[in-house]
Amino acid sequence: MPPEQAELGSLTRPPATGIPEPQSFSFSVLNRKPDNLRGSGVREARAGRALGLGERWSCLGSFWLLRGLESPKGCVAFLLRQPGSLALSCTFRRLSPQSAPCGTSPCPALPSGPRKIQQEMEGDPALRLRVFDLNCWAIRYLSKRRQERIRLIGDMLRQEDFDLVLLQEVWSERDYSDLKVKLGGCYPFSHYFRSGVIGSGLCVFSRFPILDTLLYQYSLNGYPYMLQHGDWFCGKSVGLVIITISGIIFNIYVTHLHAEYCREKDAYLPHRLVQAWELAQFIRHTSKAADVVLLGGDLNMHPEDVGIRLLRGWTGLRDAFAEATHFEGCEDGCTLVPNNCFTDKSELLPFPLGIRIDYILYKAISSFMVKCEELKTTTGAAPGMDVPFSDHEAVMATLHIQRQGQAAGATLATAEPMLVDVVTEARTEVAVGLRAAQRQRYSSGRMALLALLLLLLQAVAALGALAGLDAGQPFPKLSFCLLACLAIGILLLATGLHLFHTMEVKMLHSTEEQMRMVLRTLQECPSDG
């Protein structure tokens, strides 16, 4: 036995038949600190899984090779560690591209569907990524047939072979845990983003190790007193997970913006625009080291809405629906359609085909090129079922990622010649919201002052009565006390509202100022100049 194999003696593998099959290869304990690792070591590499690579693969990223194991069939198993990150992963490399594939036994845990990740020849790698996005509408006690649908979603995800699953409105952590248990075999890595009172509802399931996560909660998200809408209590956020596939760094964002309850008179438009702006800024600032950026979620905006144009213009993200070579699903890619039994038909009356508010957006930042080969949506009830997965339709994209010679990242000016108009439009809407918030702040402040004044008057009257100055009791004690209670109640409520609207004014003002700064800079170097 060569020394390399002896050092890896603790790997769980069939002792006689040689190297385990790459697709299902797993390792458990590696007790020795490898000699070629500087300053760190692996004491225990927990149950790992092969990256699900296809026929041809190679390691593209900069990894520290911890240990390699050569097989009699010409395969090498690598235990890798990426510098700067703490993630451990295991990948495989065939020594000769022409030789037979390593191993033949199928993986019981992995789905038997087509291989998704294909890496063609070293130097010209291509990668195919299948992404699933769905607003699950899983509100405890409120959503119809919630548990049944969550079960259906889990079953379908286990059968299908997506690489990445982005879910919204999974409000119950119990639902997430159930999905996690069910999907553990196919999607061993997952993350649930906690936020607000109820929770952000956002979670991600991945076939690839999640290296890092970050949550950004939007500074504005409706009003706590709008209990019937309830968005405020969710702490709407954008979640970021970072994964690496064959050395390509993916920044995956999942989000859910404030709902639109009345399109004609949308009181939440300024808040949603602030969210779209913060989302764009968050993506711009956190994706600088990424090769590919992917955003999935329920943006609660129609494709032509100013918020989505702002988001796309300011980040350079492209719409998978618009870019897809092949499309299959609801007409116009709609994700809220009348023939879904859970949708409110009256709300969709002005849109007989439905509306498109769920998106998969993407871009390549460094020297990669991303294409959307195929986009699909579900169309109401799941096949063979009488119940759809959700009131929203799922969006499923197949992305093709390829390295290319020169940097693909289009600059803002070239990507969005109309960006000035979009930012101007967004800024106008935010300014309208700012004025409304200022009015509300003023009204609530005035109300609090009036209540305080009333309380002071009552206190003076009470003191006067105690000092025996009054000529008899002007009005009964009961009314007096009730009035005082009312005044106290109004004072507290109005003060709370005043504080809330002060914060709202601050954030709208801040966003409006940022947009003004960007506009000034854009106007200094217009693309039509």
Point out the catalytic residue in the list 392, 498, 501, 509: 392
Interacting residue with its own copies among 7, 10, 41, 342 (CB under 8 A):
41
Q: How far is the CB of 282 from its own copies (least distance, A)?
A: 7
Interacting residue with its own copies among 12, 17, 28, 40 (CB under 8 A):
40
Q: Which is nearer to its own copies, 82 or 335 (CB)?
A: 82
Q: Does 213 bind its own copies (CB under 8 A)?
A: yes
Q: What is the DSSP track for 417-483?
A: TTHHHHHHHHHHHHHHHHHHHHHHHHHHHHHHHHHHHHHHHHHHHHHHHHTT-SSS-SS-HHHHHHH
Interacting residue with its own copies among 20, 235, 333, 354 (CB under 8 A):
235
Are 494 and 444 in contact by the 8 Å Cβ rule? The answer is: yes
Q: Which is nearer to its own copies, 43 or 265 (CB)?
A: 43
Q: Does 33 bind its own copies (CB under 8 A)?
A: yes
CA dist., res. 170 & res. 203, Å (int)? 7
Among candidate residues 443, 51, 518, the one with its CA nearest the CA of residue 250: 51
The interface with its own copies within residues 480-509 (CB under 8 A) comprises 481-482, 485, 488-489, 492, 499, 502-503, 506-507, 509
The interface with its own copies within residues 82-111 (CB under 8 A) comprises 83-84, 86-88
Q: How many residues bind its own copies (CB under 8 A)?
A: 71
Helices (H), 287-411: 306-315, 320-323
- Describe the crossing of helices 306-315 and 269-286 by its angle, rounded to 10 degrees: 10
Q: Which is nearer to its own copies, 197 or 463 (CB)?
A: 197
Q: Does 38 bind its own copies (CB under 8 A)?
A: yes
Among candidate residues 482, 416, 487, 433, the one with its CA nearest the CA of residue 457: 487
Q: Which stretch binds its own copies (CB under 8 A): 35-43, 132-140, 291-299, 343-351?
A: 35-43
Are 81 and 90 in contact by the 8 Å Cβ rule? The answer is: no
The interface with its own copies within residues 355-414 (CB under 8 A) comprises 409, 411-414
Q: Is 392 a catalytic residue?
A: yes
CA dist., res. 201 & res. 221, Å (int)? 14
Q: How far is the CB of 432 from its own copies (least distance, A)?
A: 19
The token pair that represents 460 in the structure block: 């003076």
Q: Does 196 bind its own copies (CB under 8 A)?
A: yes
The token pair that represents 446 in the structure block: 């005035």
Q: How far is the CB of 407 from its own copies (least distance, A)?
A: 9
Are 42 and 11 in contact by the 8 Å Cβ rule? The answer is: no
Other Cβ atoms closer than 10 A to 198: 17
Question: Which x/- pattern over 290-329 shows residues binding its own copies (rule: CB under 8 A)?
Answer: ----------------------------------------
Q: Does 477 bind its own copies (CB under 8 A)?
A: yes
CA dist., res. 439 & res. 462, Å (int)? 34
Q: Which is nearer to its own copies, 215 or 432 (CB)?
A: 215
Q: How far apart are the first and last CA of the chain?
A: 71
What's the distance, CA 346 to chain centroid? 29
Q: Which stretch binds its own copies (CB under 8 A): 115-123, 280-288, 292-300, 369-377?
A: 280-288
The token pair that represents 247 in the structure block: 């050395």
Q: In what order do the strands lie in the sheet with 164-170?
A: 189-193, 202-206, 164-170, 126-138, 395-403, 368-377, 326-328
Q: Does 459 bind its own copies (CB under 8 A)?
A: no
Q: Which is nearer to its own copies, 152 or 369 (CB)?
A: 369
Interacting residue with its own copies among 109, 121, 142, 197 (CB under 8 A):
197
Q: Does 29 bind its own copies (CB under 8 A)?
A: no
Q: How far is the CB of 52 from its own copies (least distance, A)?
A: 21
Other Cβ atoms closer than 10 A to 119: 22
Q: Does 510 bind its own copies (CB under 8 A)?
A: yes
Task: Kindly list the catalytic residues.
Answer: 392
